Amino acid sequence: MISNLDYATLQQLWWVICALIGALFLFLNFVQGGQTLLWQMAKTDTESALIVNSLGRKWELTFTTLVLFGGALFASFPKFYATSFGGAYWVWVLILFTFIIQAVSYEYRSKPSNVWGGKTYELFMFINGSVGVLLIGAAVGTFYTGSSFSLNDMNQVTWQYTIGGVNLRGLEAAFSLFNLSLGLFLVFNARVLGALYLLNNIDFSTVSELEVRLRKAVWTNFLCALPFLLFVVVSILLRKGFGVDADGVVSMVSFKYFFNLIALPHLLLMLLGGIGLVIWGVLAGAFKNSDKGIWFAGFGTVLVGLTVLCLPAFNGTAFYPSTFDLQSSLTIYNASSSQYTLSIMTYVALAIPFVVGYIAYLWKLMDAKKLTVEEALDEEAY
Q: pLDDT of 162-204, one tens digit each?
A: 777 777 878 888 889 999 999 999 999 999 999 999 999 999 9
pLDDT of residue 379: 55
Q: Would you say residue 49 lies in a domain?
A: yes
**pLDDT greater than 70 at residue 207:** yes
pLDDT of residue 2: 63
pLDDT given for residue 157 in this prediction: 83
- Please, which pLDDT band fits residue 213 given cuts at 50, 70 and 90? very high
Which pLDDT value is given to residue 129? 96
Residue range of the domain that includes 176: 2-376
Q: What is the mean pLDDT of residues 16-21?
A: 95
230 lies in a domain? Answer: yes
Domain count, the chain: 1
- Which 3 state secondary structure label does DSSP give 159? strand
157 in Cβ contact with 86 (< 8 Å): yes
What average pLDDT does the structure give for the chain?
91
Question: Per-residue pLDDT for 32 more than 70?
Answer: yes
Q: Which pTM does this prediction carry? A: 0.94
- Look at residue 140 and tell me if it is in a domain: yes
Average pLDDT over residues 314-332: 94
Q: Interhelix angle for 133-145 vs 293-310, to 10°?
A: 40
Where would I find the H helices in the chain?
7-28, 30-41, 45-56, 59-76, 78-87, 89-108, 118-127, 133-145, 177-201, 208-238, 256-263, 265-287, 293-310, 339-349, 352-366, 373-376
Assign 152 a pLDDT band (cuts: 50, 70, 90): confident
The predicted structure's pLDDT at residue 222: 98
What pLDDT score does 238 carry?
Answer: 96
Q: Is residue 326 part of a domain?
A: yes
Query: Which range (7-11, 325-329, 346-350) has the least confidence?
Result: 346-350
Q: How confident is the model at residue 95 (pLDDT cuts 50, 70, 90)?
A: very high
Whether residue 111 is contained in a domain is answered as yes
Inter-CA distances, 332 with 16, 155, 176, 272, 279, Å? 10, 15, 24, 25, 32
218 located within any domain:
yes
Considering only residues 211 and 118, tell me which one the structure prediction assigns the higher pLDDT: 211
The DSSP letter of residue 372 is P
Query: Is 382 a member of any domain?
Result: no
Is 381 a domain residue? Answer: no
pLDDT given for residue 188 in this prediction? 98
